[in-house]
Amino acid sequence: MINTSLFFLRHLKTQYNRDNLISGREDIDILKGQSIISLSASNNEYDIVLCSPLKRCLSTLSLLPNDCMKSVRYIDELSERNMGILEGLNKTEAQIRYPLLFCGNKIDVSADIPGGESIYEVQQRLKAIVAYIKSNPDENILICSHNQTLKILYFLLHEMPVTNDAWQCLNFPNGVLINVSDMNSNNI
């Protein structure tokens, strides 16, 4: 069971997103002139905001009104997955150079990326955040992070196995504020 007031916000688009490059831990900023889209019907006030310390998340979070955030914590564990040898590569080029690391047109979640983190390692670093969320069901919580990190959090919160099929079905769009409790895990 997850918090009924849990929101995920993936950072706004970066140059890497626009150019179809694999970013991982690269500390890049967002493209200018973007705004956050909320899929929630009402404006929210967040008791706690947990945010990745990478520039793209800090810049995204700075676009929310300060008065909607009671407390903000920057947490290294919310950084994006270390993508090792794939970081900075164009996704198409990466698929050609390292075909065994891909399943379809997405990174194979079971693949160990040389110089990077496995899904298991990311799950381990996110366990304390999952425990915090589950132990604070009455708080309005916003997590500002990265697509892979948010996906893994979602799977952990729903106690779902991370499979390639489920991985490819789940995506958190850039700059969209989503009430995670409104999402149906049965569709993944």
For residue 82, give the DSSP letter.
P
CA distance 74 to 135: 19
Evaluate if residue 110 carries a pLDDT over 80: yes
Per-residue pLDDT, 181: 77
Can you give the pTM of this predicted structure?
A: 0.92
Q: Where are the domains of the chain?
A: 6-187
Per-residue pLDDT, 124: 97
**Tens digits of residue pLDDT in 74-96:** 999 999 999 999 999 999 999 99
For residue 156, give the DSSP letter.
H
CA distance 14 to 17: 5
Q: Which residues contact 65 (CB under 8 A, 6 or more apart)?
A: none
Q: Which residues contact 182 (CB under 8 A, 6 or more apart)?
A: 39
**Tens digits of residue pLDDT in 121-156:** 999 999 999 999 999 988 999 999 999 999 999 999
CATH superfamily of 6-187: Phosphoglycerate mutase-like (3.40.50.1240)
